[in-house]
């Protein structure tokens, strides 16, 4: 599992944090590939600058989600990818990819799962008025944000926090926690046990 790929659709700040963690040795594995489905995504420029190979695979080029995912799997196999890392990939992973990479697809969520699932975790937590929120790294299964939790880290929501300041703190925390989780998975330090994954020594 020493080769891994990042899937991203947008700005790519988590992608860049992961790529830099590989370069500085925090992740002891090879970031072999960026899979992107949006030709104008800024993450492509980041990958070019960081010299990470890019595979642009547009959903509209395929007649079905199944064919789209089969093409992705073909490219992953060609590059000997052992782990798939979702970093702002704005598509729900389907059956074919889940079958091919069972317990080898991870995602990061900007809230403390199982609370505030879905695409607006930061905003939903902020609007609810929580005093503590955070970031969750989890395995991906067929339930939205429902896979086994790998790592979580909390942050305090201060009285003077705005949605924008909270977003900035959450993203900073993501950039710290995601590389840590990826390195644990790559080096077989994560053991799955029901709804929770545990770290082994």
Distance in angstroms (rounded) separating the CA atoms of residues 53 and 51: 6
Query: Which is it for strands 132-139 and 149-156: parallel, antiparallel or unpaired?
Result: antiparallel
Q: Where are the beta strands (DSSP E) in the chain?
A: 3-8, 30-36, 54-56, 83-86, 105-109, 132-139, 149-156, 190-193, 196-199
Marked catalytic residue, from 30, 109, 138, 175: 109
Backbone phi, psi, residue 109, to 5°: -125, 135
Which CATH topology does 107-201 take?
Rossmann fold (3.40.50)
User: Is the full-model pTM beyond 0.85?
Assistant: yes
Residue 201: the pLDDT is 52
Could you count the other beta carbons within 10 Å of the beta carbon of residue 122?
20
Residue 188: the pLDDT is 80
Could you count the other beta carbons within 10 Å of the beta carbon of residue 69?
22
CATH code for the domain defined by 1-102: 3.40.50.170
Per-residue pLDDT of the chain (201 residues; tens, 9 = 90+): 589 999 999 999 999 999 999 999 999 999 999 999 999 999 999 999 999 999 999 999 999 999 999 999 999 999 999 999 999 999 999 999 999 999 999 999 999 999 999 999 999 999 999 999 999 999 999 999 999 999 999 999 999 999 999 999 999 999 999 999 999 999 887 766 666 666 665
Q: Is 63 exposed, middle or buried (0-12, 13-18, 19+ CB in 10 A)?
A: exposed
Range(s) of the chain covered by CATH 3.40.50.170: 1-102, 107-201
Q: Is 109 a catalytic residue?
A: yes
């Amino acid at each position: 599992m020493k080769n891994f790929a990042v899937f991203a659709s947008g700005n790519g700040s988590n992608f860049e944090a992961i790529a830099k963690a590989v370069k500085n040795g925090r992740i002891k594995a090879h970031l072999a590939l960026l899979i992107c489905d949006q030709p104008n995504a800024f993450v492509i420029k980041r990958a070019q600058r960081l010299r990470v190979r890019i595979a642009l695979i547009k959903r509209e080029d395929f007649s079905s989600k199944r064919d789209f995912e089969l093409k992705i799997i073909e490219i992953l196999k060609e590059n000997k990818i052992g782990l798939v890392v979702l970093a702002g990939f704005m598509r729900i992973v389907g059956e074919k990819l889940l079958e091919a990479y069972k317990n080898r697809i991870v995602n990061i969520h900007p809230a403390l799962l199982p609370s505030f699932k879905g695409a607006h975790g930061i905003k939903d937590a902020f609007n609810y008025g929580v005093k503590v929120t955070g970031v969750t790294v989890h395995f991906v299964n067929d339930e939205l944000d429902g896979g086994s939790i790998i790592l979580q880290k909390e942050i305090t929501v201060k009285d003077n926090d705005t949605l924008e300041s909270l977003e900035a703190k959450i993203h900073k925390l993501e950039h710290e926690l995601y590389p840590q989780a990826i390195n644990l998975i790559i080096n077989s330090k994560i053991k799955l046990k029901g709804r929770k994954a545990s770290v082994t020594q």
